[in-house]
Amino acid sequence: MQPLDTRAAVGELAQDLGWLENYCRQQPELAMNAGTLRLASALTRNVIGPFLDDQPAMPLHIAVVGGAGAGKSTIVNFLAGSVVAEANPQAGYTRHPTAYLPAGPTFPWPSYIGFMGPLNRISEEKPADLDQDVYQVKRLPPPAAGGLDPLSEFVIWDCPDMTTWASAGYVSRLMEVAALADLIVYVASDERYNDAVPTQFLHLLVKAGKAVVVVLTKMREGDAGPLADHFRREVLGRLPKLPGGTTPAVPVLAFPQLPQTVRSDPAGAGAKYRVPLLNQILVQCETAVAARARTVTNAARYLSTAGEGLLDVARRDLAEFDAWKGAVIAGEAEFKDRYRREFLSGEQFRRFDRYRERLIDLLELPGAGRMLGNVLWVLRTPYRWTRNTIASMVVRPDMLNLSEQTVLSAALMGWLDKLQAEALARAGSHMVWKGIAQGFETGLGTQARDKFQQDYRTFELKETDELEHAGQQMVDALEKNPAVLYALRVGKLATDVMVVGGVLILTWVPSWYHLLLIPLGVSATHQTAELVARGAAEAARARVRNQRESLVASALADPLAEWLAGRPATGGTSFERLQQVLKRVPETIHRLDEQVAARVAGSIPLAASAPTPPPEHPTA
Interactions with another protein, residue window 61-90 (CB under 8 A): 67-70, 86-90
- Cβ proximity to another protein: between 241 and 583 the closer is 241
What angle in degrees, to the nearest 10, is found between the helix axes of 288-310 and 312-338?
30
Q: Which residue from 79, 250, 74, 58 is spatially nearest to 151, judged by alpha carbons?
A: 79
- What span, in angstroms and rounded, lies between the C-alpha atoms of 167 and 24? 17
Please choose, out of 49-57, 158-166, 448-456, 573-581, the segment that lies near another protein by the rule CB under 8 A. Answer: 158-166
Contact call for residue 129 and another protein (CB under 8 A): yes
Q: Please, which residue, 183 or 419, has the CB nearer to another protein?
A: 419
Contact in structure between 539 and 470 (CB atoms under 8 Å): no
**Residue 424 CB, nearest approach to another protein (Å):** 5
In the sheet with 154-158, reading across from the earlier edge strand, the strands are 120-122, 134-139, 98-101, 154-158, 60-66, 183-189, 211-217, 252-255
| 359-388 footprint of another protein as x/- string (CB under 8 A) | ----------------------------x-
By CB under 8 A, is residue 394 in contact with another protein? yes
- Which of 164, 304, 595, 603 is the binder for another protein (CB under 8 A)? 164
Which of residues 176, 182, 342, 496 is near another protein by CB under 8 A? 342
416, with CB counted inside 10 A (0-12, 13-18, 19+), is buried
Q: Which of residues 247-266 bind another protein (CB under 8 A)?
A: 260
Taking the complex as a whole, how short is the minimal distance between the CB of residue 616 and another protein, in angstroms? 32
Q: By rule CB under 8 A, what string of x and - marks binding of each residue 441-480 to another protein?
A: ----------------------------------------
Q: What residues between 186 and 225 interact with another protein by CB under 8 A?
A: 189-197, 199, 219-220, 223
Which residues are CB-neighbours of 336 under 8 A, at least 6 positions away? 549, 552, 553, 557
Cis peptide before 59 (omega within 30 of 0): yes
Q: State which of positions 409-448 bind another protein (CB under 8 A).
A: 410-411, 413-414, 417-418, 420-421, 424-425, 440
Identify the residue among 145, 400, 483, 620 touching another protein (CB under 8 A).
400
Beta strand residue intervals within 265-359, DSSP E: none
DSSP 8-state assignment for residue 167: G
Binding residues with another protein: total (CB under 8 A): 74
**Least distance to another protein from the beta carbon of 94, Å?**
9
Q: Which C-beta is closer to another protein: that of 94 or that of 152?
A: 94
The CB-of-104 to another protein minimum distance in angstroms stands at 28
Smaller CB separation from another protein, 278 or 416: 416
List C-alpha distances in Å: 297 to 212, 380, 480, 499: 16, 97, 76, 98
- 334 and 415 Cβ atoms separated by less than 8 Å: yes
* Measured torsion, CA atoms of residues 171, 175, 181, 186, in degrees rounded to the nearest 10: 50
How near is the Cβ of 416 to another protein at its closest, in Å? 8
Among residues 300 and 344, whose Cβ is nearest to another protein?
Answer: 344
State CA 214 to chain mean position distance: 39
Q: In whole angstroms, what is the distance from residue 223 CA to residue 218 CA? A: 10
Q: Check residue 166 for interaction with another protein (CB under 8 A).
A: yes
The answer to the question of residue 54 lying near another protein (CB under 8 A) is no
How far CA 418 is from CA of 327, 331, 421, 568, in Å, comes to: 9, 7, 5, 17
For the window 227-246, what string marks contact with another protein as x by the rule CB under 8 A? Answer: x--x---xx--x--------
Decide if 184 contacts 213 (C-beta within 8 A): yes
Choice from 22, 27, 261, 345 touching another protein (CB under 8 A): 345
Instruction: Phi first, then psi: give them for residue 62, nearest 5 degrees.
Output: -115, 125
**Residue 187 or residue 296: which is nearer to another protein going by CB?**
187
